[in-house]
């Protein structure tokens, strides 16, 4: 009670840029909110983000209440994976703040990695540090139990 489940959904950039898809995206967001979830749409990096200069589309959708994140930052076109280090994390967090975005880090496996992300200003984390894949029944049980936040 009182906690909302964050549901992340991966979308390609070209799909978000398709005008006929946007009403469906808004409707999905509303339905998830009504179901008690906080939807976050992760934009996959399989396409070069610079090839789509329509940042105004994201501003318009965000003004309508949608939340976005870049999925797998550093593994595709947004930046080289070999430079993922504390300096890059700090710059990414700073860039996200300038754009009014939140930072979701994937692949967090240890308390030390979670601490580094927290110290850098990250908002959310995904990975084995939070828990292993599990059957839905166990997930539901754990979700309804009192727990400590990963950052807190």
Q: Assign 3-state DSSP to the chain and report helix, strand, coil percentages, each to 5.
A: 40, 15, 45
Per residue in 7-35, pLDDT (tens digit) is: 888 888 888 888 999 899 999 999 988 88
CA pair distance 42, 68, nearest whole angstrom: 6
- DSSP label at residue 44: P
Per residue in 86-140, pLDDT (tens digit) is: 667 777 777 777 777 777 777 888 888 888 888 888 888 888 888 887 787 887 7
**Given a cut of 50, is residue 62 above it in pLDDT?**
yes
The tokens of 81 are what?
């994976």
Domains of the chain in sequence order: 5-144 (3.20.20.450)
């Amino acid at each position: 009670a009182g906690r909302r489940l964050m549901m992340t959904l991966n979308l390609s950039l070209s799909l978000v840029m398709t005008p006929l898809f946007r009403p469906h995206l808004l409707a999905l967001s509303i339905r998830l909110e009504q179901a008690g979830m906080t939807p976050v749409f992760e934009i996959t990096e399989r396409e070069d983000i610079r090839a789509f200069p329509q940042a105004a589309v994201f501003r318009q959708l965000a003004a309508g209440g949608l939340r976005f994140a870049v999925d797998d930052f550093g593994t595709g076109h947004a930046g080289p994976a070999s430079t993922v280090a504390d300096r890059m994390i700090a710059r990414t967090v700073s860039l996200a703040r300038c754009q009014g975005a939140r930072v979701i880090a994937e692949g967090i496996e240890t308390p030390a990695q979670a601490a580094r992300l927290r110290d850098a200003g990250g908002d959310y984390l995904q990975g084995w540090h939070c828990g292993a894949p599990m059957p839905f029944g166990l997930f539901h049980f754990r979700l309804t139990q009192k727990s400590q936040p990963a950052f807190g």
